[in-house]
Amino acid sequence: MGCSESTLRRRAEQWRWNERLADYDSGMLQQASEARTKEDLERCKYQLETFRQEQLARARTVGDRAEELLAMVERSVRHHLEAGTVLQGRELPSVMAAACKALEGAMNIEATALGVAGLLEDFSN
């Protein structure tokens, strides 16, 4: 069943094929864009959660090492006290300062990592 070109043109105008195809294409592009945005949002959400978990693990590791260092300082102080020796003035403060700084750093890292949790909640709302 053949149709002439003029018949096809009339039907295209009658049924507004050009407009309908443009609307269809626009709708498909919008759906693809929304799907991509959702996909990007989910990917970012996953990456943010992964980052948060890694930061928490790092913060806890740093905190554990700092506590071990502080325990070592305590053992050293007890040992020196029991042995009756006196530490040189510059040794103990620098080690204690390093332990305190490491503890403070661990707390700051963990606080930062926990702050990221707020962003994750914003994504889910």
Output the tens digit of pLDDT for each of the chain's 125 residues: 466 777 767 777 887 878 887 887 788 778 777 777 888 878 878 888 888 888 888 878 888 888 898 898 889 878 878 998 866 778 778 878 888 888 888 877 777 777 765 666 777 76
Cβ atoms within 10 Å of 113's Cβ, excluding its own: 19
Q: What pLDDT is stored for residue 60 in this prediction?
A: 84
What pLDDT score does 77 carry? 78
Q: What pLDDT, on the 0 to 100 scale, is given for residue 1?
A: 47
d(CA 124, CA 34): 17
Residue 88 per-residue DSSP state: -
Q: What is the pTM of this model?
A: 0.46
Residue 99 and residue 17 in contact, taking contact as beta carbons nearer than 8 Å: no
Give the per-residue pLDDT at 116: 62
Residue 94's contacts (CB-CB under 8 Å, 6 or more residues apart) are: none
- CA-based end-to-end distance of the chain: 57
User: According to the model, what pLDDT value does residue 119 have?
Assistant: 63
